[in-house]
Every structure is written in structure tokens, then in C-alpha cells.
Amino acid sequence: MSEVQPQLIEARDLSKSFVSGNREIRVLSGVDLSLSAASRVSIRGESGSGKTTLLNLLAGIERPDRGELFWDGIPIQSLSAARLTRERGRQIGMVFQSYYLIPELNALENVLIAGQIMGLQRKRELRAAAEALLDEVGLSDRLKSRPEQLSGGERQRVALARALMNRPRVLLADEPTGNLDEVTARRVMDIILQTVDRQDIALVLVTHNPNFANEMPERYTLREGVLEK
């Protein structure tokens, strides 16, 4: 095994504080994490423990106060804001607890727009790719449905297809089943696991559900700003 192969994401000693009023809240203090294509990571932690903050740091949405972050060997601190945004679009897919679908677009358009924003593929290929992804998440018969016409589980599946549209190498999922009932959550979780396996994507799953967390080979808990095995 070659050791020069860079990690998809390499985080070293990430720290982050927020100033709220005149008080400084230390959310993360010295987090290390590295992800390869085979990584299946779960992160648990109490509400407010900094899970979302960590994902945002990994996605380059927020900047750490201290520490280093590499995507595929690129130190992202060195990138301009514009480059960083484009690089994120290429490398990282994200899903959120509340889906964040665009209400005026139907399912197909919600997936397509991710591809159009990045413009990595040609128009005809985009449409085929979006339809294939929606098929993969089991929504090939709901292409024209608007988000308000879809159930929570279906919306999250659309959001998943959207996150995968630009063939990212890492999927960051922030409590993706947090708004779903048990049966639907299981269904969505299975689809997430199947697709990351099939597409060979690293997965970071933030969840409150101990069953889902335990299914991951690599499990962490975030406590007092530190990531514990």
C-alpha cells in the first residue's frame, strides 16, 4: 500500500470558538480527523456540542481559528474564497436535517441545479445523471413532484441525490434522519449507505440515533470540544 496517497480530508488540530456577547464559547479544541474513500465515520454528541460546527469546518464553510485542513492534499487555507467555493462544490456533498430543497423547483430540478451550478458536465449528460441518481434513491416516478408534495423521507432522498450530483468524494450528513420517523429513517439510512458504497464516497454521519452510529466502523463522540473514539 502506497503511503503517498493523500487522504480525501485531513484535519489537524482544528479549533473553533464563537464570541457570543462578551463571552467566548470554545466549541472545538484540537480536533484531528482523516478520511479516505472507504471511511465510514459516525459522530455523536449532545446538542450544542459542536457537531455542525465540525462539519462546517470540514466543508470549508467556516474557517477554523487554529489548525490545518487539507482536501485531497490541498491546504484549503491557501485558497481564495472563490476557489474554495468551487473546490467544495467538486469535492463535498452535504445533506442536512431539514433538507433545504428549493420549494419552487421539482425533484428533478432540485437535483439538476447542483450540476448546473458547478457546470462540470454537459447539459444532456446532466439530465441523465440527475435521473439516474433519483432512480438510485427510488424516486424515478416522482421527478416532477415539488418538495411540498413529497414526504420527509422522499425529500431527504432528493437532497441526497442532489448532494451526489457532482460526484463528490466525501458526503457530510448532518442528522439526515433527525426529522424522520423510525421506519423512514431506516429506509433513508439504507439508501445513504448503499449509495456511498456503490460510488466509493467517504461518509461522515452526524446522528443522534445510536443504532445508526454503531453500524459505522469508525465511531466518535464529541465532548467538550474533543473528538473521542
Partner 1 sequence: MPWYLYLALRQLFPAGRWLGSSFFILSVIGVALGVAVLVVVQSVMGGFGEVHRERIVDTTGHLEVSANGRPFSRYEGMLERLREDPKVAAAMPYAQGFVMARSGRTPLFPQVYGIDLSDTPVFAIEEYLVSGNLADLYDDTVLISSNLASRLGVWVGSEVEVFSPTLIDNLDGEEMVLPSSFEVAGIYEIEWNQEFTPGMVFSLRTMQDLYDLNQSIHGIAVRLIDGVDEYQFAEALRAEYPVWSIITWRERWADFLWVLDLEKTMMLFINLFIVAVAVFAIAVAQLLMVVRKTREIGLLNVMGARRREIPMIYCIQGFFIGLIGLGLGISLAMSLLSVRGPIIRFLADVSGTQDALTRFYYFSNLPVSYQTSDFVIISCAAVTLSTLASLIPALRAARMQPATSIRIEQ
Q: Which residues of the chain form contacts with partner 1 (CB under 8 A)?
A: 52, 56, 59, 61-62, 81-82, 85-86, 88-90, 94, 96, 98, 100, 102-106, 109, 113-114, 116-118, 144, 146, 162, 166
Cα separation, 65 vs 141, in Å, equals 46
CB of 177 to partner 1, least distance (A): 16
Stretch that binds ligand ADP, among 6-14, 46-54, 189-197, 209-217 (CB under 6 A): 46-54
Site size for Mg ion (CB under 5 A):
1
Strands 202-206 and 40-44 turn out to be parallel
Whether the CB-CB separation of 9 and 36 falls below 8 Å is answered with: no
Q: Which helix (H) or strand (E) holds 210?
A: helix 210-214
Residues 5-44 that bind ligand ADP (CB under 6 A): 18, 20, 25, 27
Among 10, 31, 42, 50, binds ligand ADP (CB under 6 A): 50
Q: Which helix (H) or strand (E) holds 20?
A: strand 9-20
The residue (of 44 and 187) whose beta carbon lies closer to ligand ADP is 44
Residue 98 site contact among ligand ADP, Mg ion, partner 1, none (CB < 5 to 8 Å, cut-off depends on kind): partner 1
CB of 62 to partner 1, least distance (A): 5
Residue 114 site contact among Mg ion, partner 1, ligand ADP, none (CB < 5 to 8 Å, cut-off depends on kind): partner 1
Which residue carries 482536501 as its cell? 71
Among 2, 3, 4, 47, binds ligand ADP (CB under 6 A): 47
51 makes contact with ligand ADP (CB under 6 A):
yes
Can you list the pairs that 180-185 forms with residues at least 24 positions away whose Cβ atoms lie under 8 Å? 180/152, 180/153, 180/156, 181/152, 184/151, 184/152, 184/153, 185/153, 185/209, 185/212
Stretch that binds Mg ion, among 16-24, 45-53, 123-131, 197-205 (CB under 5 A): 45-53
What strand order describes the sheet that includes 170-174?
92-95, 170-174, 202-206, 40-44, 218-223, 226-228
In the chain, count of helices (H) and strands (E)?
A: 7, 10
Grid coordinates given for 153: 423521507
Judged by the rule CB under 5 A, the positions of this chain that interact with Mg ion are: 52
Binding site for ligand ADP (CB under 6 A): 18, 20, 25, 27, 45, 47-53
